[in-house]
Chain A
């Protein structure tokens, strides 16, 4: 072997890019005999050590300055940043104090056994048990909606102010929507979002502060307008907040142990109520928060949701501050003084019509406002169909937009979509996928599913996307329908799914049986109401199980044979009892860690409270 060939192989090996079947032995043999090539390898390793593993203590915190350029600026009358020039240098806002010691002390004294929604006995109000199915089914019956609503936010900072917004939501199936929000103190809208098929247009006020003594807002220059054309059907990146029409994501996967609140009348309509957590209502709150920059809520905050009894449209949503000690810590980290039980956010529909005709101009964009940012997302309508078509579509589904995405720097993608009312299903495919991981943005954790004749498919941990990697073709099926309907569509595309190549991320995907072999005495969660089965992967002897629940709820369980905890990476770690042993908890990472029978366990979540994590840890059992 010559020196240049040996060094090229050394370079590839260092990057983990040496092809399978390469003659590693010959490379080592050469390097053993050739001092220059051995020196090349040592030097390359030194460069790596210097560049990758340097101390990171000196990294500046950019977030305050970046946000100050996008966010409310206290001083009125400064030069506008939307003129194409650089925004003026802005002073970084002071960071809020992080954790208060008194709150930590309260956490350390906390015991397991607090309620985990999804564990434990059936609530005594079975009236709500069928709500998830009803929400999913109701999508098909919605053609249009016109609602006026009020949004009231309580203060975060202890100044006892309230922010009141008036809003209007106009919708026409499947994805035309106009959302307007205006604040009490302004004559103009705080937010206007218009989505109409391939157009997406959003105007937000960028220099309005919700504090009460703020003045002079808004003027033309402080509005931030983004305009997107070439938007693909049901785009994830220029989203249409369909969750406001029916909260489908909040009820997928379906939970049945829901606490019903009975019925009452809201805006002249019969409403049915259910008690949830803010984490489960996360997708709805995100949709509502679009451009309105709502205050933060804690994932464990209790939510009362009232849905229209006939069409399952949200009519009232009330978020209150939860009472557990973890929430006190969280609130203080946000600079908030919420007291347990306070109503912190309330969305109330004041009038609504459903399935009445909508005037065309409802989805027109204001012609006189030039966009600050005009973007082309690259979708062009085209031949129908553009890619593979599922034989098995949900009943009543009709073809909607078809076309291709190109010119975005990524692969050329064919998109076809079908709808029925607000419900939708889309198939995206490409013949140009570069690989490395699955096409379609499924996230790190996936499950494999046997589709019979259609081969093997990969399903995202929440069940909302199904991907097929075939010979020369990569496909992903997504939609607002039930996970089994997505799988049925994926199984009838006429595409045979293969396992991903070993170099792709998803090749680490495993079954629970394989995981139990990799880590002895593996623990798994019991069957949890409102959660799907775990997505499991094995990497370097570590088993990672990801459990996705309704809405934004979810957690990961990481277990390895290493019998001791590594030194804590964060300064906020406190000791805590877990499953009868001494463990520790980091609030910043939402992570509970302990060692049990020679195995290290880490249970983490950003959407479950510490009380829920402790109850969950207690419920874990052998695989």
Chain B
């Protein structure tokens, strides 16, 4: 996506809320879509996206214009998302009787299937493939967001695709056996 004008980022960093509002509106869609896929829940994604933008606002005075602004925002979103997943793990250890996440009623089949497939991936593979597919980032940008070498991104994305493919073919085999 197009980078915001540096002047807009500077104004927001200086506490100018009108400027910050423009940044929120520019990034809320990709951030929410990424988090929805990462967390598998639209409502939780909304809360975490809000938390993301509050963190963005607080940290703006340290944004150095080295990273792309979008990469920096996605990095904060990813960290907020991972924090949520950790908190969820803690919660589920405490209450292991919580029901498994179900697909929302009326959800189109294909979307429910892809969410289930994504949920089957370990978090490190899921976040890598989502940064590529939902946000359209390049490998070097994903490397920056995740704080890992570019080679690691390459192999995680490939592993994620391999597992997603295996998941879908296993599904088809199951389906064909049932017929």
Please determine whether A289 and B21 come into contact, CB atoms closer than 8 angstroms.
no
Please determine whether B63 and A443 come into contact, CB atoms closer than 8 angstroms.
no
Please determine whether B53 and A237 come into contact, CB atoms closer than 8 angstroms.
no
Given A228-B62, A373-B58: A71 in contact with B17 (beta carbons within 8 A)? yes
Please determine whether A293 and B13 come into contact, CB atoms closer than 8 angstroms.
no
Please determine whether B7 and A283 come into contact, CB atoms closer than 8 angstroms.
yes
Please determine whether A434 and B61 come into contact, CB atoms closer than 8 angstroms.
no
Given A52-B133, A410-B67, A444-B3: A237 in contact with B61 (beta carbons within 8 A)? yes
B39 at the interface (CB under 8 A from A): no
Please determine whether A237 and B64 come into contact, CB atoms closer than 8 angstroms.
yes
Chain A residues positioned under 8 Å from B24 (CB to CB): 62-63, 66-67
Interface size on B, residues (CB 8 A): 68
A411 at the interface (CB under 8 A from B): yes
Q: How far is the CA of A40 from the CA of B166 in the complex (A)?
A: 9
Please determine whether A436 and B141 come into contact, CB atoms closer than 8 angstroms.
yes
Given A43-B165, A51-B134, A61-B28: A237 in contact with B13 (beta carbons within 8 A)? yes
- 8 Å CB contact of B63 from A11, A67, A237: A237
- 8 Å CB contact of B66 from A15, A58, A410, A552: A410
Q: How many A-B residue pairs have CB under 8 A?
A: 191
Instruction: Annotate A228-241 by CB proximity to B: 1 below 8 A, 0 otherwise.
Output: 10001001111101
Please determine whether B133 and A375 come into contact, CB atoms closer than 8 angstroms.
no
Report the minimum CB–CB distance from B82 to chain A (whole Å): 15
Chain A residues positioned under 8 Å from B53 (CB to CB): 62, 66
- 8 Å CB contact of A226 from B42, B61, B140: B61
- 8 Å CB contact of A408 from B9, B11, B62, B141: B62
Please determine whether B138 and A51 come into contact, CB atoms closer than 8 angstroms.
no
Given A63-B21, A66-B53, A293-B16: A436 in contact with B165 (beta carbons within 8 A)? no
Please determine whether B139 and A44 come into contact, CB atoms closer than 8 angstroms.
no
Instruction: Annotate B134-170 by CB proximity to A: 1 below 8 A, 0 otherwise.
Output: 1010111101100100100010011001101100110
Q: How far is the CA of A379 from the CA of B66 in the complex (A)?
A: 14
Report the minimum CB–CB distance from B71 to chain A (whole Å): 9
A498 at the interface (CB under 8 A from B): no
Q: How far is the CA of A287 from the CA of B13 in the complex (A)?
A: 11
- 8 Å CB contact of A62 from B15, B28, B60: B28
B59 at the interface (CB under 8 A from A): yes
B86 at the interface (CB under 8 A from A): no
A435 at the interface (CB under 8 A from B): yes
Report the minimum CB–CB distance from B36 to chain A (whole Å): 9
Residue of B nearest to A249 (CB): B7
Residue of B nearest to A295 (CB): B18
Q: How far is the CA of A54 from the CA of B33 in the complex (A)?
A: 10
Chain A residues positioned under 8 Å from B68 (CB to CB): 437
Please determine whether A17 and B154 come into contact, CB atoms closer than 8 angstroms.
yes
Q: How far is the CA of A586 from the CA of B60 in the complex (A)?
A: 31
Chain A residues positioned under 8 Å from B114 (CB to CB): 47, 50-51
- 8 Å CB contact of A67 from B21, B64, B134, B158: B21
Chain B residues positioned under 8 Å from A70 (CB to CB): 17, 20, 54, 57
A580 at the interface (CB under 8 A from B): no
Interface size on A, residues (CB 8 A): 73
Please determine whether A17 and B29 come into contact, CB atoms closer than 8 angstroms.
no
B6 at the interface (CB under 8 A from A): yes
Report the minimum CB–CB distance from B16 to chain A (whole Å): 5
Q: How far is the CA of A377 from the CA of B13 in the complex (A)?
A: 13
Q: How far is the CA of A436 from the CA of B24 in the complex (A)?
A: 25
A65 at the interface (CB under 8 A from B): yes
A405 at the interface (CB under 8 A from B): yes
Please determine whether A443 and B158 come into contact, CB atoms closer than 8 angstroms.
no
Residue of B nearest to A200 (CB): B61
Chain A residues positioned under 8 Å from B49 (CB to CB): 60, 62
Kindly identify, within residues 51 to 93 of chain A, every residue whose CB is under 8 Å from any CB belonging to chain B. Answer: 51-52, 54, 56, 58-63, 65-67, 69-71, 87
Instruction: Annotate B31-52 by CB proximity to A: 1 below 8 A, 0 otherwise.
Output: 0110001000010001001100
Chain A residues positioned under 8 Å from B143 (CB to CB): 434
Residue of A nearest to B53 (CB): A66
Residue of A nearest to B29 (CB): A59
A115 at the interface (CB under 8 A from B): no
Please determine whether B132 and A15 come into contact, CB atoms closer than 8 angstroms.
yes
Q: How far is the CA of A71 from the CA of B28 in the complex (A)?
A: 18
Please determine whether A238 and B13 come into contact, CB atoms closer than 8 angstroms.
yes
- 8 Å CB contact of A239 from B10, B59, B110, B138: B10
Report the minimum CB–CB distance from A42 to chain B (whole Å): 9
Chain B residues positioned under 8 Å from A58 (CB to CB): 42
A385 at the interface (CB under 8 A from B): no
Q: How far is the CA of A227 from the CA of B25 in the complex (A)?
A: 26
A339 at the interface (CB under 8 A from B): no
Chain B residues positioned under 8 Å from A17 (CB to CB): 138-139, 154
Residue of B nearest to A439 (CB): B66
Residue of B nearest to A8 (CB): B158
Chain B residues positioned under 8 Å from A437 (CB to CB): 68
Please determine whether B28 and A296 come into contact, CB atoms closer than 8 angstroms.
no
Please determine whether B64 and A47 come into contact, CB atoms closer than 8 angstroms.
no
Q: How far is the CA of A343 from the CA of B24 in the complex (A)?
A: 30
Please determine whether B139 and A377 come into contact, CB atoms closer than 8 angstroms.
no
A12 at the interface (CB under 8 A from B): yes
B5 at the interface (CB under 8 A from A): yes
Q: How far is the CA of A585 from the CA of B110 in the complex (A)?
A: 38
Q: Which of B16, B49, B136, B143 has the most CB of A within 10 A?
A: B16
A48 at the interface (CB under 8 A from B): yes
Please determine whether A375 and B6 come into contact, CB atoms closer than 8 angstroms.
no
Instruction: Annotate A23-54 by CB proximity to B: 1 below 8 A, 0 otherwise.
Output: 00000000000000001100110011011101
A282 at the interface (CB under 8 A from B): yes
Please determine whether B61 and A228 come into contact, CB atoms closer than 8 angstroms.
yes
Given A48-B133, A293-B16: A286 in contact with B11 (beta carbons within 8 A)? yes
Q: How far is the CA of A547 from the CA of B60 in the complex (A)?
A: 27
Residue of A nearest to B14 (CB): A290
Chain A residues positioned under 8 Å from B58 (CB to CB): 226, 373, 375
Please determine whether A51 and B16 come into contact, CB atoms closer than 8 angstroms.
no
Q: How far is the CA of A460 from the CA of B113 in the complex (A)?
A: 46
Query: Chain B residues in contact with chain A, CB under 8 A?
Result: 2-3, 5-7, 9-11, 13-21, 24-25, 28-29, 32-33, 37, 42, 46, 49-50, 53-54, 57-68, 110-111, 114, 129-130, 132-134, 136, 138-141, 143-144, 147, 150, 154, 157-158, 161-162, 164-165, 168-169
A-B contact pairs, 26 of them (CB 8 A): A11-B157, A15-B138, A17-B139, A40-B161, A43-B168, A44-B161, A47-B129, A47-B161, A47-B164, A52-B133, A59-B32, A61-B28, A62-B49, A63-B21, A63-B28, A67-B17, A70-B17, A70-B20, A202-B61, A236-B6, A236-B10, A237-B10, A289-B11, A409-B147, A436-B141, A444-B3
Inter-chain pairs besides A7-B162, A59-B29, A286-B16, 11 sampled, C-beta below 8 Å: A11-B161, A15-B157, A39-B165, A47-B133, A59-B32, A236-B10, A236-B13, A237-B62, A237-B63, A373-B58, A443-B3
9 tightest Cβ-Cβ pairs between the two chains A and B? A441-B65, A51-B133, A291-B15, A238-B61, A290-B14, A410-B66, A63-B24, A66-B53, A436-B140
